[in-house]
Structure 1
Amino acid sequence: MEADFVILSLTPILIGCFAAMACALPGNFLMLRRQAMLGDAISHVVLPGIVVAFLFTGSASTWAMMLGAGAAAMVSVLLIEGIRRLAGVEPGAAMGVTFTTMFALGVLLLEGSGAGAVHLDVEHALYGNLESLIWLDATGWESLVDPVALAGLPPELGRMAAVFALIAIAGFIFWRPLELATFDEGFARALGLPVQAISLGLVAAAAMACVAAFTAVGSILTIAMLICPPAAARLLTDRLPLQVALSLGLALLSAVGGYVLAGYGPMWFGLPNSLSAAGMIATLSGLCLALAAAFGPHRRAA
C-alpha cells in the first residue's frame, strides 16, 4: 500500500501543491490590484506561442512548447499593460481584448500554417495530466534516497518546484516595494519606486506560474489557484503577511484534499470511476472560498 502511494500518488500531489502555491503567491497581489483574471487571459494566449514554437523548432517537445507559451504570455502582459495605460480602459476590459485576440490569432496560425501536427488535446488543456505524472522508478519510501530512482522523477516536479522557489524568493526580496505599489501607487511613485516595473514584474511572475503549471494541471486549476485561495484568505484577515500565509495553506489543503477526494472519494460512495484531480482541487478551493465568504470575519469589509 505504501509503495503504491509513492509510485502513483506522491509526485502528482507534490506537483499539484507546488503549482497551487506558485499561482497563489502572485494571485494575492493581482487580486488586490483587481487583476485576478489575468490567469484566464494567460491560459488563452499561450496557443499562438505554442504554434510559433513548433514552426521555428519543428518539434513538439515540452521545452519548445514552454518557451513558446512563455513568450506569448509575456507579449500578452505587455499588451494588457499598454492597452490599460494608453487607452485608459479598466484592467478587465484590457485582459478581455488581449486574450480573445491572441487566442483567435493562435487558431488562425494553426489553420493557416499547416502546423496541424501540434496536437492540442482539449481535455489536457483544461484538466492537465496530473494523474499521469507517476513515479514509475519508485519502489517505496526508500526511493527518496535512491539516486537511480530519483533520476526517474517526472520532470514537471522539478520544474514546478523551481518556479515556486523563484517566485517565493522574488516575493521575499521585493516585498516592501510590491506592498507599497499595490496599496498606494501614488505614494510609491512619490517615493521614487519604479511602479511600472513592479507591475510588470508581478504579472510576469503570474505568467511564469501559469505557463509552468499549464501543461501539468491545466487551465482550470491554474485559474482557480490564482483566485480562490487569495480571495478566501482576504476574507479571513486584513493583514497582508497573514493573508499570504493563509492563501498558501488553503492552496496546500485544496491540492492534497482535492487529489485524495478525486481518487478515493468515488470509492467511498460506491462509484466505479475516479474523478479529475484538477477539477476536484479547483472545486475544493471554491468551497473554501464559499465558506470564507459565509463565515469569514472580514466578509463584509471585503
Structure 2
Amino acid sequence: MSMGLTIMITGALVAASCGFLGCFLILRRMAMLGDAISHAVLPGIVIAFLISGTRDSLAMLVGAAILGLLCTFFIQTLKQQGVQNDAAISVTFTALFAIGVILVSLYARQVDLDLDCVLYGEIAYVPWDTFILFGNDMGPKAIWAVGGAFLISLIVVGLLFKQFKLVTFDPNMAAALGIPVLFIHYLLMGLVSLTTVASFESVGAILVVAMLIVPAATAYLLTDKLEKMLGLSVLTGIASSVLGYGAALWLDASIAGTMTGVAGLLFLLALLFSPLHGIVTRWFIRHRLRTALSKEGID
C-alpha cells in the first residue's frame, strides 16, 4: 500500500467514524461534548502511561476511554444539580485538561509524550507506525485502531438503532417505553470516547473535534432523515480526506489541517446550496415566488 493511499484511508476512517457519531451529538444538541471529551481524556493518557510504563496504543486507549466516560459522568451530574449545560461542559473539560497538562509537565518531560503529539497529531507519520503481530507487519496501527472503533460503532448503533433514534428525538417517550435512556446516553459517550482516542495518533485532539462536528453538520443541512444523515456524514468525511490530501500536496501544507479545511468548505457549500436549507436556494425560491405572484397580480 502506497504512503499516499495509507494517509487517505486513515483520514477517511477518522472523518467517517467521527462524523457518524457526530450526527447523534448534533441532533441531541451536544456538539461541544465532543470537544470536552477530546480534551478531558488527556489525564487518562498520561495516567495510563505512568501505570503501564509504555506508550502502547491499547493502554492509552483504555486510560483515555475511562476518562472520557468520567467526563460525561461529571457533566451529567452537574446538570442534574442545576448547572447549565454549557457551564457544566466548560468546567469539567477545562479542569480535566488542566490536570492532564500538569501531569505531562511533571512526569512526562523526558518522554515522547508531548502536547503537540496529543493535540495536533501528524497523519503523515501514520505509514511508518505499523502493527506487528507474530513477527508479521499488519499495516499502520492507526488504520487498525480507527477502523476497529468505526466497526464497533457501526455494530452497536446497528443493533440498537431504534433505541438510539428514539432517545435522540424523544427521550421522554423512550423512557415511557422502558428504554434505558441513561444507558444509551453513556453508551453513545463511550463510543465517542473510543473513537476520539483512536483518532489521536493520526489527527490529534483538536482536529478530532472538527471531524466529529463538521461532516455531521454538513449532512444535517442536506437531509431531514437520520438514516440518510448518517450515510451522508460518512461520505462527506471520506470526500474531505481524499480532497484534503490532494490539496495538502498542492499547497505543501498540513495534511490533517487541510482535510479539516476541506470539510469546512463542504459545509459552506451545503450551507449555501442545500436543497432543503441552503441560503442561496431559499433566496432563489423566494425570488421565483415573488415573481410568480407579481405576474398573477399584473394579469
User: What TM-score comes out, normalization by structure 2 length?
Assistant: 0.86
Q: Structure 2 counterpart of 1:219, which letter?
A: A
Distance in 2 (CA, whole Å) between partners of 1:169 and 1:241 is 15
Report SS of the residue matched to 2:35.
helix
| Aligned counterpart in structure 1 of residue 269 of structure 2, from 291, 294, 299 | 291
Higher gyration radius (CA): 2
Q: Quick one: structure 1 residues 175 and 90, their matched pair in 2 at CA, closer, same or farther if it must change by over 3 Å?
A: farther
Q: Structure 2 counterpart of 1:102, which letter?
A: L
Aligned-CA RMSD value: 2.3
| Aligned counterpart in structure 2 of residue 132 of structure 1, from 114, 125, 136 | 125
What are the superposed Cα offsets for residues 179-217 of structure 1, whole Å, 9 maximum, x if unpaired?
011111111111111011111111111111101101221
Task: Assess if the C-alpha contact under 8 Å between 2:244 and 2:258 holds in 1.
Answer: yes
Q: Quick one: structure 1 residues 158 and 150, their matched pair in 2 at CA, closer, same or farther if it must change by over 3 Å?
A: farther
Q: Structure 2 counterpart of 1:58, which letter?
A: G
Q: Structure 2 counterpart of 1:121, which letter?
A: D
Q: Quick one: structure 1 residues 9 and 136, their matched pair in 2 at CA, closer, same or farther if it must change by over 3 Å?
A: farther
User: Partner of 1:106 in structure 2?
Assistant: 100
| Aligned counterpart in structure 2 of residue 192 of structure 1, from 147, 157, 178 | 178
User: Partner of 1:48 in structure 2?
Assistant: 43
Aligned length: 277
Report SS of the residue matched to 2:275.
coil
Task: Assess if the C-alpha contact under 8 Å between 1:221 and 1:281 holds in 2.
Answer: no
- State the identity %: 38
Distance in 1 (CA, whole Å) between partners of 2:74 and 2:129 is 42
Task: Assess if the C-alpha contact under 8 Å between 2:35 and 2:209 holds in 1.
Answer: yes
Q: Quick one: structure 1 residues 150 and 119, their matched pair in 2 at CA, closer, same or farther if it must change by over 3 Å?
A: closer
User: Partner of 2:241 in structure 1?
Assistant: 255
What are the superposed Cα offsets for residues 210-268 of structure 1, whole Å, 9 maximum, x if unpaired?
011012211233111111111111111111111111111101100111112112x22xx
CA offset at residue 149 of structure 1?
11
Distance in 1 (CA, whole Å) between partners of 2:49 and 2:193 is 20
Distance in 2 (CA, whole Å) between partners of 1:246 and 1:150 is 36
Distance in 1 (CA, whole Å) between partners of 2:6 and 2:83 is 43
Task: Assess if the C-alpha contact under 8 Å between 2:36 and 2:90 holds in 1.
Answer: yes
Distance in 1 (CA, whole Å) between partners of 2:93 and 2:55 is 23
Report SS of the residue matched to 1:238.
coil
Q: Structure 1 counterpart of 2:258, which letter?
A: M
Spell out the pairing of 1:258-269 with structure 2 (5 A cutoff).
Answer: 258-263=244-249, 265-266=250-251
Distance in 2 (CA, whole Å) between partners of 1:300 and 1:88 is 37
User: Partner of 1:271 in structure 2?
Assistant: none
Report SS of the residue matched to 2:213.
helix
Q: Structure 2 counterpart of 1:275, which letter?
A: A
Distance in 2 (CA, whole Å) between partners of 1:124 and 1:111 is 14
Q: Structure 2 counterpart of 1:46, which letter?
A: V
What are the superposed Cα offsets for residues 57-115 of structure 1, whole Å, 9 maximum, x if unpaired?
2223333322222221121121122222x223343222111110101122333345x44
Q: Quick one: structure 1 residues 177 and 10, their matched pair in 2 at CA, closer, same or farther if it must change by over 3 Å?
A: same
| Aligned counterpart in structure 2 of residue 94 of structure 1, from 88, 92, 108 | 88
User: Partner of 2:286 in structure 1?
Assistant: none
| Aligned counterpart in structure 1 of residue 109 of structure 2, from 107, 113, 116 | 116
Task: Assess if the C-alpha contact under 8 Å between 1:74 and 1:204 holds in 2.
Answer: yes
User: Partner of 2:30 in structure 1?
Assistant: 35
User: Partner of 1:269 in structure 2?
Assistant: none
Q: Which moved more, 1:191-200 or 1:218-227?
A: 218-227
Task: Assess if the C-alpha contact under 8 Å between 2:104 and 2:113 holds in 1.
Answer: no
User: Partner of 1:243 in structure 2?
Assistant: 229
Distance in 1 (CA, whole Å) between partners of 2:172 and 2:134 is 55
Q: Structure 1 counterpart of 2:52, which letter?
A: T
What are the superposed Cα offsets for residues 113-164 of structure 1, whole Å, 9 maximum, x if unpaired?
x443344434333331211112699xxxxxxxxx999725112111111111
CA offset at residue 18 of structure 1?
1.0
Q: Is 2:251 the counterpart of 1:276?
A: no
Task: Assess if the C-alpha contact under 8 Å between 1:163 and 1:208 holds in 2.
Answer: yes
Q: Structure 1 counterpart of 2:120, which letter?
A: Y
User: What TM-score comes out, normalization by structure 1 length?
Assistant: 0.85
Gaps of 5+ in 1: 1-5, 138-146, 267-273
Task: Assess if the C-alpha contact under 8 Å between 1:35 and 1:92 holds in 2.
Answer: no
Report SS of the residue matched to 1:73.
helix
User: Partner of 2:284 in structure 1?
Assistant: none
Distance in 2 (CA, whole Å) between partners of 1:116 and 1:149 is 32
